[in-house]
Amino acid sequence: MAAVLLLTGCTATSDSTPPSTSAAATAPAATTGPCVSDVATVIAAPASTAAALPAPLAASLDAAAQSSFKEAAAPGAIVGVRTPEGLWTSSYGFADPTTNAAMSTDMHLRIGSVTKTFTGTLILQLAEEGKLSLNDTIDKYYPGIPNGNTITLRMLANMTSGIASYYTQAFLDVYFAHPETIFTPDQLVAYGVSASPIFSPGEKFNYSNTNTVLLGKVIEKVTGQPVADVLQQRILAPLGLAGTSWPGDSPAIPAPHPQGYTLQGSSTPEDPTNATNWSPSFGWTAGAMISTVQDLLVYGRALGTGQGLLSPATQAERLQSFPEPAGYGFGFACVGGWVGHTGELPGFNATLYYDTTSDTSVVVLVNSDIASGSCTESPTLIDNPADLPCSSPATRIFVGLSTALGHPFVPNPGR
């Protein structure tokens, strides 16, 4: 069985793929000082323009994207950058390599664990309204969780609960044998509970998708609505994210969309599997969502500044929720001033990061979750450039773009 990168995403190399034994992630490497150095300025950033990015910068970004795309193991890629100077998007390669159909910037892709940022935002909105407290323990909302009377919602959001991820061997056996399987949130939680606790609440960090699924259950209990409706009412509609959707139990992706390829499950380096129509239900509020580059550029800025989503006070708390000088905070990560998330589901890989030092959003969406470089755990293609550091494809391209922007993103070593 090939290793899976599943719904991870706390660093540049931890994504949100399906059930993989390599999904456990470590906190980003420490630097110096707080990860977000000027919270007040970030929150108060004036509205940015949607005009076209100046031609010289667009050309530099295009060259960086093309270069890094050649080193990534993906048929196609969509990239986008939004700065105070303007907006730029582009696409590369194939949406469907079997027909040579080109990738285009209007396509919808699965975004994996970028979903966690939406879930975390909803929890913070409900806390603002007094409908829950971040210090509430999970047993108030969901019974049967080991240490549930001491695990707080805050611990679930920052991955310090001690609840294991549901990517147990029992889960993987079912998923890879039948990737069309529809899992309920309760089934996912049960898999995680079966391997829990892995440490005492608050003792340390461990990236676990069970945490974010439990937060989704809290959202539904508090609001009395399906999480899809809550997302639509509180984030998608207010921000005008018409291309972003919640798939529910359906494997369908809105048109237009590319075909996505993976080495997870029984795939081999010689013959990647088309995972486009694999069930996304195992991701739920930890990784099931679908979006476009245009929507994510809008959302990424809102996520970083809080504008249109949270009050200044709540956003300030969120931007200071990282274990300094870097780490995983309330539903997203911070590395060197970049805040956001990576995402991965079989066949798809995404990065969404906002640079708090320059009011810049960067999005990369690719139709592959296959790593490249000197990977020791993640499977790679036969023509793998082993002289490069191991990286998922979206992260590799994002690093190239960040370098062209003058603020290089430095991911943790990949596997």
| Single-letter amino acid, residue 94 | F
pLDDT score, position 415: 67
| Spans of the chain below 70 pLDDT | 1-32, 414-415
CA-CA distance, 38 to 30, in Å (whole number)? 18
107: how many CB neighbours lie within 10 A of its CB?
Answer: 22
SS (H, E, C) the chain: CECCCEECCCCCCCCEECCCCCCCCCCCCCCCCCCCCCHHHHHCCCCCCCCECCHHHHHHHHHHHHHHHHHCECCEEEEEEEECCEEEEEEEEEEECCCCEECCCCCCEECHHHHHHHHHHHHHHHHHCCCCCCCCEHHHCCCCCCCCCCCEHHHHHCCCCCCCCCCCHHHHHHHHHCCCCCCCHHHHHHHHHHCCCCCCCCCCCCCCHHHHHHHHHHHHHHHCCCHHHHHHHHHHHHHCCCCCECCCCCCCCCCCCCCCEECCECCECCECEECCCCCCCCCHHHHCCEECHHHHHHHHHHHHHCCCCCCHHHHHHHHCCCCCCCEECCCCEEECCEEEEEEEECCEEEEEEEECCCCEEEEEEECECECECCCCCCCCCCCCCCCCCCECHHHHHHHHHHHHCCCCCCCCCCC
| Best CA proximity match to 13, nearest among 414, 338, 339, 403 | 414
| Single-letter amino acid, residue 17 | T
CA-CA distance, 375 to 414, in Å (whole number)? 7
Q: Could you tell me the pTM of the whole model?
A: 0.94
Task: Give the angle subtended at the CA of 29 by the CAs of 134 and 81, to the nearest 5°.
Answer: 80
Q: For the segment 359-397, what is each residue's pLDDT rounded down to a tens digit?
A: 999 999 999 999 999 999 899 999 999 999 999 999 999
Tokens standing for residue 46: 């004036």
Tokens standing for residue 325: 């000088």
Q: For the segment 296-353, what is each residue's pLDDT rounded down to a tens digit?
A: 999 999 999 999 999 999 999 999 999 988 899 999 999 999 999 999 999 999 999 9
Residues in the chain: 415
pLDDT score, position 21: 34
pLDDT score, position 329: 97
- Cα 26 → chain centroid: 15
pLDDT score, position 32: 59
290 close to 244: Cβ distance less than 8 angstroms = yes
